[in-house]
Structure 1
Amino acid sequence: MKYDFKAIEKKWQKVWADEKTFAAKIDHTKPKFYALVEFPYPSGQGLHVGHPRSYTALDIVARKKRLAGYNVLYPMGWDAFGLPTENFAMKNHIHPEIVTKNNVARFKSQLQALGLSFDWDREINTTDPSYYKWTQWIFLQLYKHGLAYKKEMSVNWCTSCKVVLANEEVVNGCCERCGGEVVHKVKSQWMLKITAYADRLIDDLDGLDFIERVATQQKNWIGRSTGAEVNFTTTTGDTLTVYTTRCDTLFGATYMVVSPEHALVNQWLENGTIQNADAVRAYQAEAARKSDFERTELNKEKTGVKLEGVMGINPVNGKEIPIFISDYVLATYGTGAIMAVPAHDTRDYEFAKVFGLPIVEVVKGQGESHLDKEAFTDVATGTLVNSGFLDGLSVEDAKKKMIEWLESEGKGHAKVNFKLRDWVFSRQRYWGEPIPMVYCEKCGWQPIPESELPLKLPEISDFEPGEGGESPLARHTEWVNTTCPCCGGPAKRETDTMPQWAGSSWYFLRYMDPHCDTAPVSKEAVEYWGPVDWYNGGMEHTTLHLLYSRFWHKFLYDIGVVPTKEPYAKRTSHGMILGENGEKMSKSRGNVINPDDVVNEYGADTLRLYEMFIGDFEKAAPWSTKGIKGCKRFLDRLWGLGEMIVPGEGYRPELETAFHKTIKKVGEDIEVLKHNTAIASMMSLLNDLYAAGGATKDELRTLLILVNPFAPHITEEMWQQQGFEGQIAHAQWPEYDEAKCVESTVEVLVQLNGKPKARLNLASGLDKDATLAAVKADASVAALLEGKTIVKEIAVPGKLVNLVVK
């Protein structure tokens, strides 16, 4: 019978849907396993072949866990708010809700065609009012606990989309979405105080099963450092506070640099202190057109303007030092001002060289002085010199003594600092969750009553932002104008909406209890299902999304909504699939692979198998048409085995070890995402069965269960054809006997003077002496040794014996 994958896959996908085969059970007596993949943004382009790699990998884990007796939750939903949908809606004059509905339908049909064992009864959509009601509720709790606040700040502004962008949405000074120019603009924004959780977001990584590169990226993004805040007075009487991790080098500070946006710079411009105001304002305008990434790039040319008319005063020696503005200092990091020690910092050194500033060595390193070289490494060890009361001290001792001095003199104090900034939570667009706040001239900002949630988006048809960058909602006065919940007077709704990150920061909780109408998730559900046992996603989301969702979860823990401090016990990430030419897939390169085409030509099981066989899961791998054909041949041969049933029960003696080894290998490899080697071991077992003339019913039964998580459709069909009971999905994962995983005999290569002469099957486990004795006792070897003298014996037990003769 021909392997008709199209008919088979369609048949079983309908069976699974009709019978709800993969629905998580409301049975809290069973051990639970919660597998999670990042829910997709349903774009109009549909799935690409990168999506199935992550989804299939965890699908295999989820299927194996069910077979091992776990109550498995493996859900899917849609991260459906966002700017791309809104842009498409504007361009094509279609409401974003309709665009979203169409895109979701396409994505869902594609996912179902891959045979993924998602529990579709728990499907969620961030644009559903019954979902974003609780997103708004969480925002209100953040506001009531002082973690949401409004602030005037400099933001990334896309001149084309006319919206605020987060730093991660700016690429090389351009909007990631439209390619338009991004400038800095001061706007009033809602902020979330994620910095209040900075220490916990680092410290609580300990004990989590996160792959190293994910944990490292989290720590680097938060950027915790220990140092001191130092107060520099100025010749105007004002104070410039700097943060430094190297207060031991204060005697070497020969100039200061402040950000172009620094409040004191603007103050000095307004009161006439700065004598070169035109040059300073021109530089400020130039810096506003650059992204933070461009401004802080290490290899860029150093630029700046000296502030004529004001000087800084070094607090340790009273010397006046010049103050510059430069775009490599950001107002949003530290205090927006730095002390520059060009002898011991590469960037300060390069800046000093450009502007001809003094360079004073204050830490003597071991061996040749770095000041004798054009290029040098930053000195972190050594002995203090030219530093008054610090001379002769080590760097660490000098830091301690300097902090003591600063604190005793009232000129500074110890400080822990973070690179992490508070989260800009406003977006000036329509297609996002309305922020449930109103502004009253009398009462200020007020939260709407929780009883009025969800605050729904109004039905509008004009989605273009205003010329000043205000949200399109601002034009709809019938929605904007409301009453103050505090005094009952006139008030206006907030017209900014939430960023796309909002809905994805807690979606994993909603899957646990998607229909709960009294809380984001019921206590009973979260206490059973939480935390997520295994979360897989792309490396591009291991900083912001992971931080944001961990922050929200910790806050919900603090207010008693969830019982655990962390949302995810385990986090892994996958490498992307490249084009056949080894380059990243893109339309411009013409190397994009559409999974629909692959499923149509080879079948979903072949696609699943190939994407797992393609290589190390954590690394990028190029697509190979030859490789996918090889996986199709494996399934064709598996299908053929169904017509090669031989008499007998259990595992035949000659195959017993192979079966036990394969059961162990596949089971262990699935648990560590080594799906490629698991598949290789099953291919080897299939070869053994063909060599043995076929399979017994019991042998085929075991093989089908092992292959099922990887290729579920073909194995379910073969299972049914053989008359096995029920579905494989309800079967039990086979057990192995450790003692039977060891071969009873091993093949040993016999060499004379390094040349192969024979291959012998010897008992496994023999030591060196026993191996040599067994080889020399063999009749064929004895014949080769006749008339010769052995002068040296080399034996590698279980592998090789080399006899040197003359």
Structure 2
Amino acid sequence: MSEFYSPKDIEQKWQEIWEKEEAFKVGTDKSKPKFFALVEFPYPSGQGLHVGHPRPYTALDIIARKRRLEGYNVLYPMGWDAFGLPTENYAIKNHIHPKIVTKKNIEHFTEQLKALGYSFDWDREINTTDPNYYKWTQWIFLQLFKKGLAYKSEMPINWCTSCKVGLANEEVVGGVCERCGGEVVRKVKSQWMLKITEYADKLIDDLDMVDYIEKIKVSQVNWIGRSVGAEVDFKIPGKEENLRIFTTRPDTLFGATYMVISPEHPLIDKYKDEIKNYTDLINYREQAAKKSDFERTELVKEKTGVVINGLTAINPVNGKEIPIWISDYVLMTYGTGAIMAVPAHDERDWDFAKKFNLPIIEVVAGGNVNEAAFTNTSTGKLVNSEFLNGLEVADAKIKILEWLTEKGIGYKKVNYKLRDWVFSRQRYWGEPIPIVHCEKCGYVPVPESELPLMLPEVESYEPTDNGESPLAAMTDWVETTCPHCGGHAHRETDTMPQWAGSSWYYLRYIDPHNSEAFAGKEELEYWLPVDWYNGGMEHTTLHLLYSRFWHKFLYDQGLVNTPEPYKKRTSHGMILGENNEKMSKSRGNVVNPDDIIGEFGADTLRTYEMFIGAFDLSAAWSNEGVKGCRRFLDRVWKLKDIVTSEEAYSDNLETKMHQTIKKVTSDFESMKFNTAIAAMMSLVNEFYRVGSITKGEFKTLLLLLNPVAPHITEELWQIIGEKGRVYQETWPVYEEAKTIENTVEIAVQINGKVKANLTISLDEKQEEVETKAKELDSVKAALNGKNVMKVIYVPGRILNIVVK
């Protein structure tokens, strides 16, 4: 037995024991209640784990270990989200094949995770780049295609002229590529799309079914952006067609003083011969093409635009002719690509109108808009609106919609900010899209019997100058025959985005070795839905939306048994550097978990990551905090020297024991890991204050601490002579009646001044309390020779003796 706590001597030992005993292998007994704990699987980068990774993994490991002790059959898996741009860029830069890079990165990550003692069932490990995995990613894509939910369309993309790759809006900053600083232009490209908009309403409405923290639900709802309003036609003088707009405020039509269309609107090119300043419009369009959608709509900036000289519109409610402008704050991808501008009641329109000296007409009473600022009124009475005057906003909306419908120039419409999902990348390192193009038959799915369509080996996986995937140059692979007619066809050379594999990975964990289906029906029915899913807030919008969409589609096809994939979703805060800034190499504040494990041990790192602060908030790393957690574990280790043989709780600590069990049990469930650990620290202090600890008390402490610090607790369990393992034990249970203190310490005062403290039973009468108080030496001295005038007793708080 080692007298001193040495993590190096015990942690690898217990990791090997757990692996040999298959301690965390998922059980086959489906009569037991199940618990499916899920963490977002990592992207295995060359840098390995950083100290941010263990925070969510440890949190769910605590819950998973606790559930096993509570008798659940637990599935807690791990895998790798390994396709995508980071690995491909690294491979290109270092001239190493992405497959080799991925293999090395996964090996390193696996070593690090195992060193932290997580209770993952490694038999269920998955890898999105494994053909046995992406076979089913391709299969799900084909089901979407067959149901009309996957289609190809011309789409504008952000094209980096240096990286030669399409970028997400978030990757474009100031008109340049965030990664390389190269110029970004808008480029029209034929892209595969998934019709997620078909599920927009379900994705909002079904949030009522799940236990997500509120800010996650809000982010989902806001991204989908469902709004109810009207589509209204504005006539263009001298033209047969109308300019159609969508508005959530048809009641403000009388305040529309100009219109704005997107610089990309087809109206411009259709009537270019009649537009006198067509060149100005095209120049403006080219400038707008250098900005991402986010920059055009979300960033605070000065409004810009060009009036169309040659086209105007007629406001349908009053017949007034109003100008049409183009401006980059209107997008073709939202609504109809055109808006009516009501500057009195919209901030963007107000700014635009003030900049270009356009009319501002108040139509909802609320102030002098021409001298102050726009009035954002969702309630109030209509003014300057003819037949709507005097109506409240809600009533005016109903009346104007009836009027528009009757006239045949407008109708009720539900609109969404959500766009269909761009589902192709012109890169190599991704899942091949299992579609061929036949001139006769069009787009044809690869037969399911031929899946997986393997990603071929290529000599060059660098992006091409013409924007095509490197696969396009592989003639032998591209040239094929049509599965329908047997004629000449070409394979699709775009690959799937990184989102593909992560949209359904939780399903594969359920049955990872099944070669006949993505998972067996019986397994799915037992394990779904995921009981608890934790991940970063940055993934609670798109990833969550995409995976919910895929799951709902599979549910509609009868392939899964629940309408929602995740029963509960929580998120964690980021771990910052000691300087309270985000960790990065450039800032020199990155902490390597390997170093912490090497110096202090895995259990110390796990304990500190959970003790660092409120789990859902960001917290700054502190080396002093790490040392404090190591000192706590040292104190737990030394308790073995004062353990007595009694199995029962001692009388003077029984209440404290039951209180601690209750506190830790509750705090783990509400992810208040820091306060749970604080409660155990307090209990350890009590043991040292008393000077001894019964074996029963020590065993309870080890069980409570085990989910946080599994290695030290297993070792101490063995040291005190207990049979079996902690992971095979049962979670402690508290008795509510025994959590209530039956004694209390009160202040004894003489003429309002405290002379002593007295411990009494809560049920003692005032007379008994007085008698005990007067026997205290300090009280006797204060009462010596004085007359007691009266005694004031506040039960459980103070006894005040008034003397003269």
Instruction: Please tell me whether the aligned partners of residues 776 and 782 of structure 1 are also in contact (alpha carbons under 8 angstroms).
Output: no
What are the Cα deviations for residues 529-585 of structure 1, in whole angstroms up to 9, with x where unaligned? 100000000000000000000000000000011000000000000000111111111
Shift of the 798–523 alpha-carbon distance from structure 1 to 2, 3 Å rule, reads farther
Shift of the 296–782 alpha-carbon distance from structure 1 to 2, 3 Å rule, reads farther
| Residue 9, structure 1, aligned to residue 11, structure 2 | yes
| Residue 545, structure 1, aligned to residue 547, structure 2 | no
Shift of the 771–63 alpha-carbon distance from structure 1 to 2, 3 Å rule, reads farther
Aligned partner of 2:583: which letter? M
1:185 to 183, 187, 194: 187
Shift of the 321–705 alpha-carbon distance from structure 1 to 2, 3 Å rule, reads same
What are the Cα deviations for residues 402-457 of structure 1, in whole angstroms up to 9, with x where unaligned? 11111111111111111111100010000000001111111111111111110011
User: How far does residue 750 in structure 1 lie from its aligned partner after superposition?
Assistant: 3.7
Match of 2:266 in 1: 263
Match of 2:253 in 1: 250
398-407 or 166-175: which moved more?
166-175
User: How far does residue 465 in structure 1 lie from its aligned partner after superposition?
Assistant: 1.6
User: How far does residue 468 in structure 1 lie from its aligned partner after superposition?
Assistant: 1.4
Shift of the 791–721 alpha-carbon distance from structure 1 to 2, 3 Å rule, reads closer
Instruction: Please tell me whether the aligned partners of residues 183 and 291 of structure 1 are also in contact (alpha carbons under 8 angstroms).
Output: no
> How far apart, CA to CA, are the structure 2 residues paired with 1:37 and 1:250?
49
| Matched residues, number | 797
Match of 1:634 in 2: 632
Shift of the 174–708 alpha-carbon distance from structure 1 to 2, 3 Å rule, reads farther
User: How far does residue 327 in structure 1 lie from its aligned partner after superposition?
Assistant: 0.4
Instruction: Please tell me whether the aligned partners of residues 298 and 347 of structure 1 are also in contact (alpha carbons under 8 angstroms).
Output: no
> How far apart, CA to CA, are the structure 1 residues paired with 2:469 and 2:477?
13
Match of 2:769 in 1: 774
User: How far does residue 154 in structure 1 lie from its aligned partner after superposition?
Assistant: 1.0
Instruction: Please tell me whether the aligned partners of residues 255 and 342 of structure 2 are also in contact (alpha carbons under 8 angstroms).
Output: yes
Secondary structure of the residue that 2:148 maps to in structure 1?
A: coil
| Residue 61, structure 1, aligned to residue 63, structure 2 | yes
User: How far does residue 675 in structure 1 lie from its aligned partner after superposition?
Assistant: 0.7
Matches within 5 A, 1:454-603: 454-603=452-601
Instruction: Please tell me whether the aligned partners of residues 344 and 375 of structure 2 are also in contact (alpha carbons under 8 angstroms).
Output: no
1:694 to 692, 695, 706: 692
User: How far does residue 25 in structure 1 lie from its aligned partner after superposition?
Assistant: 0.9
Match of 2:137 in 1: 135
Secondary structure of the residue that 1:642 maps to in structure 2?
A: helix
Aligned partner of 2:234: which letter? F
Shift of the 793–420 alpha-carbon distance from structure 1 to 2, 3 Å rule, reads farther
Instruction: Please tell me whether the aligned partners of residues 84 and 177 of structure 1 are also in contact (alpha carbons under 8 angstroms).
Output: no
2:727 to 700, 717, 729: 729
Aligned partner of 1:229: which letter? E
Match of 1:344 in 2: 345
| Residue 665, structure 1, aligned to residue 663, structure 2 | yes
Match of 2:439 in 1: 441
User: How far does residue 55 in structure 1 lie from its aligned partner after superposition?
Assistant: 0.2
What are the Cα deviations for residues 209-264 of structure 1, in whole angstroms up to 9, with x where unaligned? 10111111111111111111111111233211111111000011000001111111
> How far apart, CA to CA, are the structure 2 residues paired with 1:233 and 1:425?
37
Instruction: Please tell me whether the aligned partners of residues 161 and 178 of structure 1 are also in contact (alpha carbons under 8 angstroms).
Output: yes
Aligned partner of 2:719: which letter? Q
Shift of the 298–393 alpha-carbon distance from structure 1 to 2, 3 Å rule, reads farther
Shift of the 804–108 alpha-carbon distance from structure 1 to 2, 3 Å rule, reads farther
Secondary structure of the residue that 2:191 maps to in structure 1?
A: strand
> How far apart, CA to CA, are the structure 1 residues paired with 2:746 and 2:493?
78
> How far apart, CA to CA, are the structure 1 residues paired with 2:766 and 2:601?
50
Matches within 5 A, 1:308-347: 308-347=309-348
User: How far does residue 694 in structure 1 lie from its aligned partner after superposition?
Assistant: 2.5
What are the Cα deviations for residues 167-224 of structure 1, in whole angstroms up to 9, with x where unaligned? 3444454444444433221111110010110111011001311011111111111111
> How far apart, CA to CA, are the structure 2 residues paired with 1:336 and 1:32?
49
Shift of the 321–752 alpha-carbon distance from structure 1 to 2, 3 Å rule, reads farther
> How far apart, CA to CA, are the structure 1 residues paired with 2:787 and 2:462?
95
Instruction: Please tell me whether the aligned partners of residues 603 and 712 of structure 2 are also in contact (alpha carbons under 8 angstroms).
Output: yes
Match of 1:387 in 2: 385
Instruction: Please tell me whether the aligned partners of residues 748 and 798 of structure 1 are also in contact (alpha carbons under 8 angstroms).
Output: yes
Match of 2:109 in 1: 107
What are the Cα deviations for residues 85-126 of structure 1, in whole angstroms up to 9, with x where unaligned? 111111111110000000000011000111111110000000
TM-score normalized with structure 2 length: 0.96
5+ residue gaps, structure 1, are: none
Instruction: Please tell me whether the aligned partners of residues 369 and 375 of structure 2 are also in contact (alpha carbons under 8 angstroms).
Output: no
What are the Cα deviations for residues 494-536 of structure 1, in whole angstroms up to 9, with x where unaligned? 1000000000000000000001111111111110010000000
User: How far does residue 773 in structure 1 lie from its aligned partner after superposition?
Assistant: 7.7
Aligned partner of 2:310: which letter? G
Secondary structure of the residue that 1:232 maps to in structure 2?
A: strand
Instruction: Please tell me whether the aligned partners of residues 172 and 293 of structure 1 are also in contact (alpha carbons under 8 angstroms).
Output: no
Instruction: Please tell me whether the aligned partners of residues 750 and 800 of structure 1 are also in contact (alpha carbons under 8 angstroms).
Output: yes
> How far apart, CA to CA, are the structure 2 residues paired with 1:741 and 1:282?
75
**Percent identity of paired positions between Structure 1 and Structure 2:** 66
Secondary structure of the residue that 1:383 maps to in structure 2?
A: coil
User: How far does residue 771 in structure 1 lie from its aligned partner after superposition?
Assistant: 6.3
> How far apart, CA to CA, are the structure 1 residues paired with 2:674 and 2:254?
59
Instruction: Please tell me whether the aligned partners of residues 127 and 133 of structure 2 are also in contact (alpha carbons under 8 angstroms).
Output: yes
Aligned partner of 1:144: which letter? K
| Residue 452, structure 1, aligned to residue 450, structure 2 | yes
> How far apart, CA to CA, are the structure 1 residues paired with 2:522 and 2:763?
53
Shift of the 220–803 alpha-carbon distance from structure 1 to 2, 3 Å rule, reads farther
User: How far does residue 586 in structure 1 lie from its aligned partner after superposition?
Assistant: 1.1
TM-score normalized with structure 1 length: 0.96
Shift of the 800–371 alpha-carbon distance from structure 1 to 2, 3 Å rule, reads farther
Shift of the 643–358 alpha-carbon distance from structure 1 to 2, 3 Å rule, reads same
CA RMSD of aligned residues (A): 1.8
> How far apart, CA to CA, are the structure 2 residues paired with 1:626 and 1:276?
67
> How far apart, CA to CA, are the structure 2 residues paired with 1:762 and 1:112?
52
Match of 1:276 in 2: 277
Shift of the 37–173 alpha-carbon distance from structure 1 to 2, 3 Å rule, reads farther
What are the Cα deviations for residues 357-397 of structure 1, in whole angstroms up to 9, with x where unaligned? 001111112xxx14154334411111111111111100000
Instruction: Please tell me whether the aligned partners of residues 46 and 107 of structure 1 are also in contact (alpha carbons under 8 angstroms).
Output: yes
Secondary structure of the residue that 2:741 maps to in structure 1?
A: coil
User: How far does residue 77 in structure 1 lie from its aligned partner after superposition?
Assistant: 0.1
> How far apart, CA to CA, are the structure 2 residues paired with 1:151 and 1:143?
13
86-95 or 685-694: which moved more?
685-694
Instruction: Please tell me whether the aligned partners of residues 174 and 182 of structure 1 are also in contact (alpha carbons under 8 angstroms).
Output: yes
Aligned partner of 1:273: which letter? E
Shift of the 742–280 alpha-carbon distance from structure 1 to 2, 3 Å rule, reads same
Secondary structure of the residue that 2:431 maps to in structure 1?
A: coil
Aligned partner of 2:153: which letter? K
| Residue 31, structure 1, aligned to residue 25, structure 2 | no
5+ residue gaps, structure 2, are: none
Aligned partner of 1:528: which letter? Y
